[in-house]
Amino acid sequence: MNLAKSILMAGLMSFSGLAAAHGCPNEMKQIDAALQVSTVEASKLDAAKKLRAEGEAQHKAGDHDASMASLKQAKQLLGI
């Protein structure tokens, strides 16, 4: 019984990593759209652009947790 639970947990953890990996591009699309129409001050806009670029680089490097964290910060700066 413990082996079955371990296998199930490993599968769920793998799936959650894949879900995060697929979430990054959607987050980037939302940020890109907001950047086009944003009225936030220039310093926040520049910071959001930097965080968005970092998030994309982290995504491409396979660090999806860091990517999602960077993208979340960018979204907060943009008010989305």
Q: How many CB atoms lie within 10 A of CB 9?
A: 10
The pair of three-digit structure tokens given for residue 17, joined into one six-digit string: 């990593």
* 15: confidence class by pLDDT, cuts 50, 70, 90: very low
What number is the average pLDDT over the span 40-60?
97
The amino acid that residue 23 corresponds to is: G
What number is the average pLDDT over the span 7-33?
69
pLDDT at 19: 47
